[in-house]
Amino acid sequence: MKSISSVLALLLSLPLVACGGADKPATQEPRAADDNRMELGDRPTDHRPTGPKLDDDEGDGSGLAVAGLRGHLDEYDIRHGLDPHRRELSTCYTSRIKRRNYIGGKIRLHFVVNPDGTVKAVNVGESDLGAWEIEACLLGVARAMTFARPHGGEAVFDIPLEFSGKRAVTWWEEDKADQEVATKLTELSTCQPAPADAWVTLYVGTRGKVLSAGFSAPSGAAISDDWATCAAQAMKAWKLSDPKGKIAKVSFRYAPDSLPGSVEQ
């Protein structure tokens, strides 16, 4: 298990990326030969919808000053709000992976901050972590954060985090992923309130058993905690193709209105 100190060091080294700023950290780990994972910004498909482009003209060009729709917070103010919660964020990961050392990935928390500095809303804008219990913990910590008063009103910004698993995983190609889950997505209809659009990342182990699942909403569509908890539990009952001694990582889109038999509004 990764130590708390090493996770904290990783969090401290991560840049704060503004919406519309740099999509990836300046330095990235080399990919293992059997790891065809995708990076945030080009995963799981380039055809997915994206959120509104935010005005960050007030930044200094470094991608660190964060602009909102009507206001903005600079890097210092965001880090000052984040600093008291770094250990809590790392503990969300270290206390929940247990023996599941294959769990790892990137997650981008999307914040909306009120004019008084309290958090109005936060959601998982992007993630390939694949573990809702960790994502839910991170959201809980993020919702309790407070920041300086944004300049000019309500502010919107992203905070990227990364957690490194110790065991290599093999990504399934999108076509294979879609084929594997196509007949199972209707089973999620009992989980409510359903999101308009979501991306799912899950891990598949021995005999095709789903080991863990996580969610993100890069389109900006809200994903309720109740739905995510229900969906994660439902997916653990799925049996997919056996990855034959490996851990497979799978990502696919869940959009209820596009499922067979759905009635478009």
pLDDT number for residue 259:
73
Residue spans of the domains in the chain: they are: 4-18+61-163, 170-257
The tens place of each residue's pLDDT in the chain, 265 residues long, gives 333 333 333 344 444 333 323 333 333 343 343 444 444 444 443 333 333 232 333 333 333 344 445 688 999 999 999 999 999 999 999 999 989 999 999 999 999 999 999 999 999 999 999 999 999 999 999 999 999 999 999 999 999 999 999 999 999 999 999 999 999 999 999 999 999 999 999 999 999 999 999 999 877 678 999 999 999 999 999 999 999 999 999 999 998 887 765 544 4
Identify the pLDDT of residue 261.
Answer: 58
**pLDDT value of residue 262:** 53
Instruction: State the pTM of this model.
Output: 0.76
- What was the pLDDT predicted at 258? 79
Determine the pLDDT at residue 16. Answer: 37
Q: Which of 232, 176, 215 is nearest to 36 (CA)?
A: 176
- Report the C-alpha gap between 135 and 157 in whole angstroms: 18
